Chain A
Amino acid sequence: MRNATDNLFKALADPTRRALLERLTRDGDLTVHALTERAGVSQPMVSKHLSALKRAKLVRHRRDGRETHYSARPEALAPLVDWIGHYGAFWKNKFEQLGDVLERMDQ
């Protein structure tokens, strides 16, 4: 577990890897080629960074002919998430919005 957490932090400590992960999170399934086009680094470097993300289980891959597709695994971030704190703030905000909706509603 500790080792898995270390991999997670190491993987996220690099800005290029964070950028790759953000793109995969935003755009979904992408090939290594597509990722390289906008990564600002060479394809071998992109592949190397993807391997680090894979070790941390932040991405998964599948082969399709000659192309390798990558996609994000957001659930891998679960150990880092302060669920209680997040949802406390989330519901506080939602209750305020609910109050506004009730004001606008007909009886």
Chain B
Amino acid sequence: MTTPETSTRSVVMEKEFPHPLQKVWRALTESSLIEQWLMKNDFQPVTGHRFNLRADWGAVDGQVLVVELNKTLSYTWAAYGLESVVTFTLTPTGAGTHLRMEQSGFPADGEQYYQGAKWGWQKFLGNLDQVLAKLE
């Protein structure tokens, strides 16, 4: 999944879920539920709270920026030298909830020839031959 040229500085994901706002909000903000879809964590929906998200490939450091009940959740997302901000926006629809996620703060100066590289050490190192081949 790549994003168009207009969003070289952020990744946007939007989806409508056939579930009420309050339920989607809970899945985004309750630690045990976050673990089930995102990563292990010590998250708390409290502005200023610092937390970690942990997966087998590494960890993300975050700090909660915005908590607007059933509406907006925003936190910093720092991992592997990337400093970014993740913002979830919830909007009620007739059939459920529209969820928009924007991760912003990506460096815009990435050179084209690095595009073949994939994140993740094991994965990256395993794919190195392909990456190098693209450089020729």
Contact = CB atoms under 8 A, between A and B. Distances in A.
A49 B120 CA distance: 22
Contacts of B23: 102, 105, 107
Contact of A102 (B27, B116, B121): B27
B36 to A, nearest CB: 5
A95 B114 contact: no
B107 to A, nearest CB: 7
A84 B119 contact: no
A88 B24 CA distance: 21
How big is the A interface, by class?
35 or more
Interface residues of B, number: 44
A97 interface: yes
B135 A81 contact: no
A25 interface: yes
A77 B121 contact: yes
Contacts of A77: 80, 121, 124
B121 A83 contact: no
**Chain B binding surface SS class:** mixed
Contact of A91 (B7, B101, B116): B101
A87 B103 contact: yes
Contacts of A98: 17, 27, 37-38, 99
B13 interface: yes
Contact of B132 (A9, A22, A105): A9
B101 A86 contact: no
Given A86-B118, A100-B37, A105-B26, A74 B80 contact: yes
B117 A80 contact: yes
A95 B13 contact: yes
B83 to A, nearest CB: 11
